[in-house]
Amino acid sequence: MTENKTLNVGDQAPDFTLRGIGLKEVSLHDYRGKNVVLLFYPLDWTPG
Amino acid sequence: MPAFDKRVSDFEKADTQVLGISTDSPFSHENWAKSVGIQNYPLLSDVHRSVAKDYGVYWPDWNANNRATFIVDRTGKVRFVERYGRGELPEPDKILAEVAKLG
């Protein structure tokens, strides 16, 4: 995880578990069976 | 992103979950979400930058992540990737159209 890999179409999406607001844990695999849109954005308070 | 927050119900109709990810803390997320009106999808905190690195979007200059959108299908496979330059933002209509292609 120290290297910056490249992820491309067709690759398996790496699973993750992260905390959100209220310290609630959310994992990618929670949504298996649904499509998931991951919106990476640089920092809070940036446009968008 | 407020533009996506307004469209979450459209994504739900397409059986699609929207997740926002940055390297900010949950406490920062909470304040930002309240300020800009994001309430319909989770904002997640990649505080260790591990997800940014796994997805190839780590931005060393700012110890943060670049702006990018990934669509993951029902089986966990990446089906769409879009990376953004300075001033570029993801468009909900375009991402919805890509989701629709997955059926």
Mutant choice from A39, A45, A46 vs B, greatest count of B C-beta within 10 A: A39
Give the per-residue pLDDT at B86. 87
**Which one of A40, A43, A45, A46 makes the best mutation probe of the B interface by having the most chain B beta carbons within 10 Å?**
A40
Q: Is the pLDDT of residue A46 over 80?
A: no
Q: Tell me, yes or no, if A40 comes closer than 8 A to chain B by beta carbon.
A: yes
Q: What share of chain A is helix, strand, coil (3-state, %, to 5)?
A: 15, 30, 55
pTM of the entire predicted model? 0.94
Token reading at B95? 């991402």
CA atoms within 13 A on the CB side of B8: 16
Residue A47: its pLDDT value, please?
66
> For residue B93, what are the contacts with CB-CB under 8 A and spacing of at least 6?
none
Cβ–Cβ contact A25 with B under 8 A: no
Q: Is B97 on the interface with A (CB under 8 A)?
A: no
Q: What's the pLDDT at A48? A: 53
- List, for residues B52-72, the tens digit of each pLDDT value: 999 999 999 999 999 999 999
φ and ψ at residue A32, rounded to 5 degrees: -55, 135
Q: How many domains does chain B have?
A: 1
3-class SS of residue B59: strand
pLDDT truncated to tens, each residue of chain B (103 aa)?
Answer: 889 999 999 999 999 999 999 999 999 999 999 999 999 999 999 999 999 999 999 999 999 999 999 999 999 999 999 999 988 999 999 999 999 999 7
**Which among A11, A29, A42 has the least Cβ separation from residue B59?**
A42
Q: What is the ipTM for the molecules in this complex?
A: 0.96
CATH code at position B32 = 3.40.30.10
Give the number of beta-carbon pairs within 8 Å between A and B. Answer: 173
Write out residues 7-46 of B within 8 Å (CB-CB) of A.
11, 14-24, 26, 28-33, 42-46
| Residue among B59, B84, B89 nearest A4 (CA) | B59
Domain interval for residue B92 = 2-102
How many CA atoms within 13 Å lie on the side-chain side of B90? 29
Q: Token digits for B32?
A: 């930002």
Q: What are phi and psi of B41, to 5 degrees?
A: -145, 155
